[in-house]
Amino acid sequence: MKHDNASLRLKTVEGHIRGIIRMIEEEAYCIDIIRQIQAVQAALSKTSSIILEEHLHSCLITAVHGDDPDERERVLKEVADVFEAATQT
């Protein structure tokens, strides 16, 4: 499957989120909760990078080598939009 690595990472994130919920319910130390949230955010960011890299090596390359200029532009715009959204604060 194309996204096996990303899927595994997301399952790990899912477990971490359950742990964070449990920490909140048990009123764990706030800084410990924040550190766990930061770890989840980093894991999600890495997962996003993995999926984007897979996209660039498959869909983007196919579109760039293809004969349809509209499809090429559509795919390039998608990547630009994702990058722009990721860099906005």
Which domains, from first to last, does the chain contain?
4-87 (1.20.58.1000)
Global model pTM greater than 0.95: no
Find the helix or strand (DSSP H, E) in which 55 lies. Answer: helix 30-55
Nearest to 8 by CA among 41, 63, 51, 70: 51
Distance separating alpha carbons of residues 20 and 72, to the nearest angstrom: 42
pLDDT of residue 63: 84
pLDDT of residue 22: 98
Distance separating alpha carbons of residues 89 and 13, to the nearest angstrom: 23
Residues of the chain scoring pLDDT < 50: none
Report how far apart, in Å, the C-alpha atoms of 5 and of each of 14, 22, 43, 71 are: 14, 26, 12, 28
pLDDT of residue 1: 63
Dihedral (Cα; 13, 18, 23, 29), 10-degree rounding: 10
Show Cβ contacts of residue 5 under 8 Å, excluding neighbours closer than 6 positions: 50
